[in-house]
Amino acid sequence: MSGQTAISLTTGGLVLGGAGVCTWAAVSPSSDLFGRAVRRAGSPRAIALTFDDGPNPAVTPALLDLLDRYRARATFFMIGRHARSSPDLVREVAARGHAIGNHTDTHPNLIWLSPARIEEQLARCQDAISAATKMAPRWMRPPYGFRGPQLARVLRRGGWAGMALWTRAMFDWKPQPPERMIGRMARVRGGEMLLMHDGDHRIQNSDRSHVLRSLEHWLPRWADDGFEFPTIDDLARPPLPAAAN
């Protein structure tokens, strides 16, 4: 092999390797290459419950009742167009003490959008949520967890608190027997942030009954084990100072 050929192969390998790293960083919830994210519950005695793609009139009200029953709070990352169609439900989520995050207006893949288009998606969702609650979310979650370097720049420029990802996805975005999701939730451990869905970004009134049934099984068990359920806003608050002796 000539020296020139070896250099070409090495350079090609570096390019492919770099492309692979960037692809992984764009889609992996564990990567901070394109901006740091909150993805854990902050304590081994806590489980952070998060729900994407709502609000959904077919499921979210029953889910709120279930969370109330076990004094559990959650974070709802809402889609702007769903928030505009169900403003009363947006207000109800906030009134019951849950956090609301921005999940864009129409749920696009942000990797392919320009900074201006990302800003527009976030702004339209922000307007929909603010119109219902008089409050603006401070946190966002990128659809599918996909992001590029432009997202971090947009968030810094817009003064956002940051983005939230997750440690464990429940793979609940299509209808399924609740027993399947209950089995997956058996692997949940303290300190994790769970990705679940109370809605479907494509349609309203989607079937998410398997999510509700699975939480009906696990919430009482987690509560009996002493777990807490912090929101994204709880996780962002600095710890209280230790009491003086």
Please state the domain extents for the chain: 37-235
pTM over 0.85: yes
Architecture per CATH, 37-235: Alpha-Beta Barrel (3.20)
Is 200 an active-site residue? Answer: no
- Per-residue tens of pLDDT for the chain, all 245 residues: 555 555 554 445 544 455 566 786 788 887 787 778 999 998 999 999 999 999 999 999 999 999 999 999 999 999 999 999 999 999 999 999 999 999 999 999 999 999 999 999 999 999 999 999 999 999 999 999 999 999 999 999 999 999 999 999 999 998 999 999 999 999 999 999 999 999 999 999 999 999 999 999 999 999 999 999 999 999 986 544 444 43
pLDDT in tens, 175-186: 999 999 999 999
What gap in Å lies between CA 182 and CA 214, rounded to an integer? 5
Does the active-site annotation cover 197?
A: yes
Place of tokens 């288009």: 117
Residue 142: strand, helix, or coil: coil
Catalytic residue among 82, 98, 197, 201: 197
8 Å CB contact between 76 and 51: yes
